[in-house]
Structure 1
Amino acid sequence: MSAEFGGRTGRQGKISQWLRGRRPKEAADDGGREALLLAAAGAGLPLAPAAHPAPGYRCSCDRVGCPTPARHPVSFAWQTQSTTDHAQIERWARHQPQANFITATGMVHDVLDVPLEAGQEALDQLLGSGVDVGPVAVSDDGRMFFFTLTRGTPEDEDEWWPCELDCHPETMDEHPGLRWHCRGSYVLVPPARLPGDDGRTVHWLRGPEHPLPDPLTLLEALTDACARHAGQETDQAGAGWPLRH
């Protein structure tokens, strides 16, 4: 009996040492990550596991020279895999502790994805005007995500209307300004880590507790801000070249 007790004490001692050896930030991050993912799912955002950063600005996937490191789903079946089921998300989060997560758009919500400076300008304008903006996330690679209700599930399929702003994972480079993620697209959902050693993340600026707004209530302000942002970039690029007389 004493030997059994001693064995338990030894095991408990090792567990205690392990717990004491963990940094407080790590312990907080583990619980905080899961809570944030469940909050997003609770707001109706369907989630699926995604790749995560690997050393040297690489991706955890097996693809050599991955073009979107740590920014894509793990499974090709991400659209059918995406779920709001808390038990499933808890299993994924605990069994894949390093994984990022994506949220599939065009089912419950869309995402209006804009350059960070344009997004901040539009956000200030919208909030100043009393518009219900909804959840907003910031990606430290220079983008801002406005989460909205989707236009992707009309009662009558004949009422579905494509938009020239529609963006899919394989066409994002064609949309440097405003990107409308709807059917067949996704974005990283906070909390997510981006490649590199500089600690860049995707994080909430306004959390998922804010109701999803109609995208058309945000579209004009975002479009105008993106146009001004693009004009400023053009002016700055042109300023580097002397004018010929």
Structure 2
Amino acid sequence: MGCPAPAQHPVSFAWQSQATTDAEQLARWLSRDPQANFITATGRAHDVLDVPAEAGRLALERLDKLGVAGPVAAVGEDRYLFFTATRGTPADEDEWWTSALDSTPDTMSEHPGLRWHCRGSYTLLPPASLPDGSEVRWLRGPEQSLPDPLRVLDVLTDACTEVGAVAEEQWLIG
């Protein structure tokens, strides 16, 4: 009730300590709540770069041309999730930042651009169903190798900038 992102976050506040890949535990959770979506903790084995779908489509084309593969998921028609290798433990700790994306911003409309889910955050894991009837689905499956996050980030920031510039231009003309 009143949740800004229903079906898109952990049900427990202790999710970081409860996160597991243990098949028996996952089966117990699934038997208790068969309709539940699963999340993946980021910043451990992988990070996720999360962008508006229009920028994601543009970036995916460019990454294909560059020969950069990697798992990519679509969150309905609104967002793309680019799974990358993690920067969770860089050699220089000054390069590390925590991710507060599990608590702020409360809605995507508050921050519609690129979001980097790293240590301390999570994302939905396909397949997942959302209350509005949309789904989280793989565009490129998890069997893909995880690409370097900075290489993907470079392409995504350019795509987000271009999509934002076009939207601003259309707003000024319209």
Output the TM-score relative to the length of structure 2: 0.90
In structure 2, distance between residues paired with 1:153 and 1:80: 18
**Cα displacement (A) at 1:160:** 4.8
Out of 120, 124, 128, which is 2:61 matched to? 124
Gaps of at least 5 residues in structure 1 are 1-63, 241-245
Which has the higher Rg, Structure 1 or Structure 2?
Answer: 1
Cross-structure match for 1:185 = 121
Instruction: Say which structure, 1 or 2, has more relative contact order (CA 8 Å, 6+ apart).
Output: 2
In structure 2, distance between residues paired with 1:111 and 1:119: 13
**Structure 1 ranges of 4+ moved more than 6 A:** none
In structure 1, distance between residues paired with 2:125 and 2:67: 26
Asked if 1:138 is matched to 2:74, the reply is yes
In structure 1, distance between residues paired with 2:43 and 2:66: 27
- Secondary structure at the aligned position of 2:21 is classed as coil
Question: Mapping of 1:56-205 within 5 angstroms?
Answer: 64-131=1-68, 133-154=69-90, 159-162=93-96, 168-172=101-105, 173=108, 174-196=110-132, 199-205=133-139
**Contact 1:167/1:180 (CA < 8 Å) preserved in 2?**
no
1:118-165 residue CA offsets vs partner (Å, 9 max, x unmatched): 11111111111212x2110000150000001111123x5x5252469x
Cross-structure match for 1:225 = 159
1:13-64 residue CA offsets vs partner (Å, 9 max, x unmatched): xxxxxxxxxxxxxxxxxxxxxxxxxxxxxxxxxxxxxxxxxxxxxxxxxxx3
| Higher helix proportion | 1
In structure 2, distance between residues paired with 1:215 and 1:85: 27
CA RMSD of aligned residues (A): 1.9
- Secondary structure at the aligned position of 1:75 is classed as coil
Q: Write the letter of the residue equivalent to 1:108.
A: A
Identity of aligned residues (%): 59
Change (3 A) 1:162 1:237: farther
Gaps of at least 5 residues in structure 2 are none
